[in-house]
Amino acid sequence: MPLFNKKDKYIRITPNNSLKTGVKREMPEVPDELFAKCPACKHMIYQKDLGTAKICPSCSYNFRISAKERLAITVDEGSFEELFTGLETTDPLHFPGYQEKLAAAREKTGLDEAVLTGLATIKGQKVALGIMDSNFIMASMGTVVGEKITRLFELATAQELPVVLFTASGGARMQEGIMSLMQMAKISAAVKRHSNAGLFYLTILTDPTTGGVTASFAMEGDIIIAEPQALVGFAGRRVIENTVREQLPDNFQKAEFLLEHGFVDTIINRTELPEMIATLVALHGGER
């Protein structure tokens, strides 16, 4: 009697009946929301690994987040009081499709406009707070955005409060023409009055901060912080290269490039921002 059975010469397989019937077997699908691709290092990241702060574990890039998400990880729980709601643009140019675009943005974000404004405490420090949301028409600056930020500074001046403003924007809102550009001067004047009162203004530049926002109030803070690898600039890279006819550095307009050239004071991960904001506000007098 043999000790071992002889193996078959060929591997036995189960016939695939779908080949005979012509019916294709469906491949399992991976949900789009399960993974995220880092815009900086291009790594695919499991969403749960990003955490609530949404920071790339490979390169520390701070993903774009909504105003409400930022609010949740920045202010003391239950301390935020939203102000200046219900303002709506008069659509001065009657721009085709603009009202539909606004309605879609409101539905998508749950915001009435591209900036969230109000009062809050951060690690116990009371501040006037503004958070721009790039999910709302790329946080473009129109008349309502300008009005809300201006009112925030005016309130902060009257109540002797520091202002903390998270910037993000694609620039002026083209659907409102020259009225959107006027907001640069309008907000800057309010910033100046706040400064003349001896009050502290802190800006945190997030990805992306560009155009008229960069050219005005985003760069007017007493201290300017940027998140890692945030895009910060005025004109686009290609526009500049075509104008000066030079190849720009790979990290041009990135937060690290700005820090190297003295345009920002420091770069901080958003998980460390609440502690830093509270420290800076306290050092500059806090609430009067």
Same domain, yes or no: 40 and 71: no
pLDDT for 46 = 87
Same domain, yes or no: 135 and 275: yes
Same domain, yes or no: 39 and 122: no
Q: Which residues are annotated as a binding site for Zn(2+)?
A: 38, 41, 56, 59
Same domain, yes or no: 121 and 205: yes
Q: What are phi and psi of 64, to 5 degrees?
A: -70, 130
Residue 274 and residue 129 in contact, taking contact as beta carbons nearer than 8 Å: no
Instruction: Give the C-alpha separation, 35 to 56, whole Å.
Output: 12
* Domain range enclosing 261: 65-283
pLDDT for 19 = 54
Residue 272 and residue 111 in contact, taking contact as beta carbons nearer than 8 Å: no
pLDDT for 32 = 59
Same domain, yes or no: 146 and 258: yes
In a domain, 191, yes or no: yes
Same domain, yes or no: 139 and 224: yes
Question: Could you give the count of Cα atoms lying within 13 Å of 145 in the half-sphere of its Cβ?
Answer: 34
- Nearest 5°: the CA angle 127, 78, 217 is 30
Residue 260 and residue 71 in contact, taking contact as beta carbons nearer than 8 Å: no
pLDDT for 49 = 85
Q: Which residues are annotated as a binding site?
A: 38, 41, 56, 59
Tokens of 146: 């300008």
Residue by residue, DSSP assigns 116-174 as: EEEEEEETTEEEEEEEE-TTTGGG-B-HHHHHHHHHHHHHHHHHT--EEEEEEESSB-G
Mean pLDDT by runs of 10 across the 288 residues of the chain is 57 59 59 80 88 89 94 97 95 95 96 97 98 97 98 98 98 95 97 98 97 97 97 91 90 95 97 97 86
pLDDT for 6 = 60
Same domain, yes or no: 48 and 139: no
Same domain, yes or no: 43 and 71: no
In a domain, 11, yes or no: no
In a domain, 12, yes or no: no
In a domain, 279, yes or no: yes
86 Cβ neighbours under 8 A, 6+ residues apart: 112
In a domain, 146, yes or no: yes
Amino acid found at 8: D
Tokens 């910060």 — which residue? 232
pLDDT for 48 = 85
Same domain, yes or no: 97 and 221: yes
Instruction: Give the C-alpha separation, 267 to 251, whole Å.
Output: 15
**Which domain CATH number covers 216?**
3.90.226.10
pLDDT for 35 = 86
Residue 123 and residue 274 in contact, taking contact as beta carbons nearer than 8 Å: yes
Count of domains forming the chain: 2
pTM of the predicted protein model:
0.86
Same domain, yes or no: 143 and 184: yes
In a domain, 93, yes or no: yes
